[in-house]
Amino acid sequence: MSEKTPLLHYRLTTSGEPSNGSKRTGVGGGVHPGRSKDRAPQKLGVLFGVVIPTLLSMFSVVVFLRIGFVVGQAGLYHSIAMFLVAYFIITMTVLSICAISTNGALDAGGAYYMISRALGPEFGGSIGIMFFFANICSSALYILGLVEAITSTFGVPEEGAAAAAGHHHMLPSGYWWSLLYGTALLFLCFIVCLVGAHIYAKATFIIFIVVMAVLASIFISFFIVGPTVVILSHTSAVNTTSMSTANYTGFRLHTLEGNLFSAYTVDYTTGAMMSFTRVFAVMFNGCTGIMAGSNMSGDLKNPGYSIPRGTLAAVLTTFITYNVLSLLAAWSCDRYLLQRDYSFLGDINILPPMVTVGIYSSALSAAMSNLIGASRVLYALSKDDLFGGVLALARKTSQSGNPWVSVLVSWLLVQMVLFAGKLNTIAGIVTIFFLLVYAAVNLACLALEWASAPNFRPSFRFFTWHTCTLGILGCLVMIFLINAIYAFASIAFMLLLLMLIHYLGPISNWGYISQALIFHQVRKYLLMLDVRKDHVKFWRPQVLLMVANPRSCTGLMAFVNDLKKSGLYVLGHIKLGLLDELPSDPLQSRYDSWLCLVDHLKIKAFVNLTLADSVRHGVQNLLFISGFGGMRPNTLVLGFYDDCTPHDHLQGHILLSTGHSFDTVCPTKVPGEQRSPFFPSLRGAEDPKDLQEEEYVSVIADAVKMGKNVTLARCFDQFNRDRVLGSGRKIRGVPGPFIDVWPMNLLQPDSHGYVGICSLFLLQLACVLHDSRAWNQARLRLFLCMEAGYSLQEKEEAKLQGMLRDLRISAQVQMVAWDEVVALHWQRQRERAEQNEEDEREDCNQIYPNNASQLTDEYICAVNDMICRHGVPQPAVRFLYLPHPPADRSRYRAYLEQVDLLSRNLGPTLLVHGVTPVVTTDI
């Protein structure tokens, strides 16, 4: 009925600490702390290691005190149906347990260790807590069953004692007296668990022999004892005691016919009306205990051989026993006897004291076993530190290694459950807990099967995902049929535990089944993501952000996280060097630091590091290899090339996952040297850069050649996301930040176009930022430069407004008259025309569409000043058109200087060059 772990298991766990992941040498190996290193531990076979523990766990007070209750209420047909349903669920779960427990050698520690080490802390911790509560409630159930047996034999009714009591009825009866008896019995179990658990472990086999002898006497009695009239006494609702009689008829056909169908009535112990589900909840407690064999896996000679055979043999034995007892009871006892006397097996036994001894020994043994089991599960949970300091006190042990605090906590919780008062009252709760544990075990096995992990190779192969699914469905259906409210509450509690451990629990080295499942699903969907089926209306930015040193660009990393619009986000970093000159790959040890940074900044990004002889080659490598299938970066983001001294934005920050500062240093193997465990210090103002101007522009040109959009991010060391966005809070009456967009190529003043691929990409990128959750309170401002004498000005504005409507973009359009600015350019043109009109015309036709060699610094500064004047109030970020790099490499330095003048002193600015269509007006 419970997951008892008799004999050797508790001798080991009480003499030393239970094993955990840190004390294993492999998946299931390692030396148990309680074992002698000089003496090989005794190993058990199928019978003593699995069959006897499982049978003793399943044969308990239910077989002695509730077989009559089940048959009397449900009838033989419904009783057999209940056993078929229960054992169907049990069998499916046994198949899953056998599969998990035979997937490598597991040390002693019970079902919690088996599940947690095989599947990871999420499943292990949540199942462990549910298993703990199941053992707590089950221990109370056995105590209440034992109290019921004692008061039935020795109790004096509250009223009519003289008429009802015999010479052996000497104990007062009633709720408070029963609670007192239960408390005393529980305290006895508590004392034994504190100081003498080894005494119980040694007596386990004797208890098993007693239970088997009692069962044999019961079967014999049905065939030997003749018809008998049983005198019953019961108390009515007004506390008056009356006498009645019931018949044990022996094997009679009319008795069997009268017990075939259900006749649900009021339970005389609780006063509650019975139903199929309520009777099933009581009956199912006699079918639990199937994990007792797997609990012994660390002490078996051959777990892969013993656990499946022993557990299935025990399940089959109990199934036959329960059904045969039901048939014999229905064939020989009238229904009134079955419904009014739950201890009728003692009344019709050839040796009545035998049944009493069986009930007392099995109930006390089971209660003690569950109390010990609950304390060991709680201790194991505290040792694994899955819930932080909440269970810290439960780690305390005595000098002999007995976890006395866990025993104390378990005892107090069982004592609280005893206030329920009656066995049938808490039977439903116990059943729900065990069914949830079994459903979780089936789910865990199903997850392992679906994950297709190469190391999941259990020696027991008689299971499939179908059996796991059937086990899950069977458990869930019965849980909701028993009590829907308790079922919803229990499942919600278990899911809450799973999520808490997943998000808040410490990282373990046990392996995470969730990661295996995610890998399996991601791989499958990546294969389904066909680049040939890409369409412009489903385009999204997939960004590769190049980071030289993250200490200086945390603001940019957070900003790009908002810009990605649920697309791919990759942080790229290049380590200069050649692998031929190094003893090993220097990048492997750096991934942890980068992942810790990603966690610290709370961004959704991947990390891709590469080793190259130059920055240009490194960027090429990352653009070539980053991503998988249809998930590849389509936009390259670079920091701007300027002479500003970088600022350290990680200095003094504490990494919560480790408790260390980003500035923490540690000694290296070289004496006297120290290094940061995270990222190196920033370069000084006088230190040379790893990248020169020509190589920087070459990186931009390379990306354009590879069909990637390019974005240059400037002044984002000044960007404070929390200050700009108000920490994500919308303040009433305070306008949101502005996002300014200048879609024209301001370095090509003779062009009026704003609907080209690059301009539309720039507009789309600004719209993506605006639509992100953090920026949805921002306002888009779109600036369109027009000459005052331009005859189509109103027509162009109307055309732009119509395009914005078609693209579903909400933006405030502002027309900017830039006659004075563009006049500076045309003045230079006229001066050149006076010198050589034909050469100038040829230069205008051939050069201007391709480069900005004719632009003056005066004109570019005027454009910069115009942008500043129209940026009131100051926007959070500006989007500017980035011209294509010149074809002539000798013009790279001049191109970079012009872009520098254009974007100087503008605050956080993105210079964008798009090469792919990204917008559509189609539905």
CB atoms within 10 A of CB 675: 12
**Distances 859 to 106, 681, 747, 822 between C-alpha atoms, Å:** 77, 39, 9, 7
Burial class (CB in 10 A: 0-12, 13-18, 19+), 466: exposed
Task: Flag whether pLDDT at 273 surpasses 50.
Answer: yes
Q: How far from 795 is each of 580, 701, 753, CA to CA, in Å?
A: 63, 36, 13
Task: Please give the pLDDT value at position 8.
Answer: 33
Is residue 9's pLDDT more than 60?
no
Rounded distance, CA 473 to CA 483, Å?
Answer: 16
Question: Is the model more confident about 45 or about 488?
Answer: 488
Range 306-323 burial, b when 16+ CB lie within 10 A, else e: bbbbbbbbbbeebbebbb
Give the per-residue pLDDT at 734: 60
Buried b (16+ CB within 10 A) or exposed e, 525-559: eeeeeeeeeeeeeebebbbbbbbbebbbbbbbbbb
**To 5 degrees, how large is the angle CA 310–CA 316–CA 322?**
130
Q: List 296's β-bridge partners, or say none.
A: none
Q: Which two tokens stand for residue 774?
A: 């953090």
Vertex 698, ends 697 and 701: CA angle to 5°? Answer: 90
Cα distance between residue 241 and residue 153, in whole Å: 16
pLDDT of residue 837: 56
For the chain, domain boundaries: 46-157+172-504, 536-649+687-728+738-830+853-913
CB 666 within 8 A of CB 583: no
Domain 46-157+172-504 in CATH 1.20.1740.10 = yes
- Residue 838, token pair as written in the block: 């034909």
Average pLDDT over residues 322-344: 91
Residue 236 is encoded by which pair of tokens? 């009515």
Residue 677, both tokens: 């465990």
* Amino acid sitting at position 285: N
In percent, the amount of the chain with pLDDT more than 90 equals 24
- For the cut 60, the answer to whether the pLDDT of residue 111 exceeds it is yes
* 536-649+687-728+738-830+853-913 has CATH 3.40.50.12370 classification: yes
How far is the C-alpha of 10 from the C-alpha of 249, rounded, in Å?
45
Please tell me the distance from the alpha carbon of residue 639 to that of residue 572, in angstroms, as a whole number. Answer: 12
For residue 52, what is the enclosing H or E element?
helix 52-58
Q: What is the 3-state secondary structure (H, E, C) of 630-666?
A: CECCCEEEEECCCCCCCCCCCCCCECCCCCCECCCCE
pLDDT for residue 37 is more than 70: no
Threshold 0.75, pTM exceeds: no
- Same fold yes or no, 46-157+172-504 and 536-649+687-728+738-830+853-913: no
Tokens encoding 23: 């004390």
Q: What mean pLDDT is reported for the chain? A: 79
Q: What is the pLDDT of residues 723-739, one digit of tens each?
A: 888 754 555 556 678 99
Rounded Cα–Cα distance for residues 685 and 646 (Å): 8
pLDDT digits (tens, 9 = 90+) for 130-176: 888 888 988 888 898 888 888 877 776 554 444 444 556 677 877 88
| pLDDT 10s digits, 629-685 | 888 999 999 999 988 878 887 876 666 555 555 655 554 444 444 445 567 777 766
Which is more confidently placed, 414 or 268? 414
For the chain, the first-to-last Cα distance in angstroms comes to 62
| pLDDT value for 621 | 94
Q: C-alpha distances in angstroms, 678 versus 325, 609, 663, 681?
A: 69, 14, 8, 10
User: In this predicted model, what pLDDT tens digit does every residue of 519-551 receive, in sequence order?
Assistant: 888 888 888 887 877 878 788 899 999 998 888
877-881 sheet: strands from edge to edge? 606-612, 569-576, 543-546, 635-639, 709-714, 909-913, 877-881, 738-742, 779-786, 812-817
